Amino acid sequence: MRQIFHDELEQIASDLVELAGLVATAIRQSTEALLEADVQLADRVIEGDRAIDDRRNDLDARSVDLLARQAPVASDLRTVVASMRMSSDLERMGDLARHVAQVARMRYPEQAVPTELRETFMRMGSIAERIVTEVAAVILSQDVAAAGEIERIDDELDVLHREMFTLLAEGAWQHGTTSAVDVALLSRYFERFGDHAVTVARRVNFLVTGQAGAVELPEESERS
């Protein structure tokens, strides 16, 4: 019985990792769709978000089923509950990738991002993809040190997000209102990838160390 339970817990962890993999792909593709004004790729991300939602719903249904059949307590129970919360963060990251793709789609055949900001958004996309890949590794390894590294990567995203808002300040911006609004929302989406990744990492940290700390979303920067 106990062995079956632990096999099932491992299956849930491995499904979370797979979910994170789907999200990493969605982030990479949505960034590319945005920067290349690739409407087919944007549509693929938008369509693909359903698969992420379905995967998350399956995972949660199995977690609830596990609770019902095995009635775990103590750390086993906390692990199942934490898994359901992590799946929620990952699913939300999938939504954010969809939002990025939707901006690309809406501006097509125009570029949503002014030329001189392409580089910054490319970096944000690449950091966001890296952070969710790291998250997958942390879920598997339960490595608390790596969980700390995720907070450091998130700081990089926050710095870029603040830079973006400096560029949007009165007088500095030369690309009109629509573009300013697009850039503000896009920058916020990328910054939120980081927040959700940090939340997942903190949940892993909590499971391993039992130290509560802040398991909710980190404080977002004031401007976001």
Interface ranges with its own copies (CB under 8 A): 53, 57, 64, 67-68, 71, 73-74, 77-78, 81, 84-85, 88, 91, 95, 99, 102, 105-106, 165, 168-170, 173, 176-178, 180-181, 184-185, 188, 216-217, 220, 222-224
Give the Cα separation of 26 and 41 in Å (integer). 10
| Residue 133 vs 218, nearer CB to its own copies | 218
What minimum distance in Å lies between the beta carbon of 133 and its own copies? 24
Q: Is 17 left (phi over 0), alpha (psi -120 to 50) or beta?
A: alpha
Nearer Cβ to its own copies (95/156)? 95
Pick the closer one to its own copies by CB: 133 or 224. 224
- 94 or 125: whose CB is closer to its own copies? 94
DSSP, collapsed to helix, strand or coil, labels residue 216 as coil
Residues 6+ apart with CB under 8 A from 219: none
Could you tell me the smallest distance in angstroms from the CB atom of residue 73 to its own copies? Answer: 5
Judged by CB, which is closer to its own copies: 77, or 140?
77
Judge contact between 23 and 93, C-beta under 8 A: yes
In angstroms, give the least distance from the CB of 40 to its own copies: 17
Helix axes 74-107, 39-70, angle to 10 degrees: 160
CB of 82 to its own copies, least distance (A): 10
Give the separation between CA 71 and CA 74, rounded to whole angstroms. 10
In the complex, least distance from residue 130 CB atom to its own copies, rounded to whole angstroms? 25
Structure tokens at 110: 């125009």
Q: Are 85 and 206 in contact (CB under 8 A)?
A: no
Q: How far is the CB of 151 from its own copies (least distance, A)?
A: 19
With respect to its own copies, which residue has the nearer C-beta, 33 or 134?
Answer: 33
d(CA 109, CA 85): 38
CA distance 35 to 23: 18
Q: How many CB atoms lie within 10 A of CB 33?
A: 27
CA angle centred on 151, ends 160 and 118, rounded to 5°: 20
State the nearest-atom distance from the C-beta of 48 to its own copies, in Å.
Answer: 15
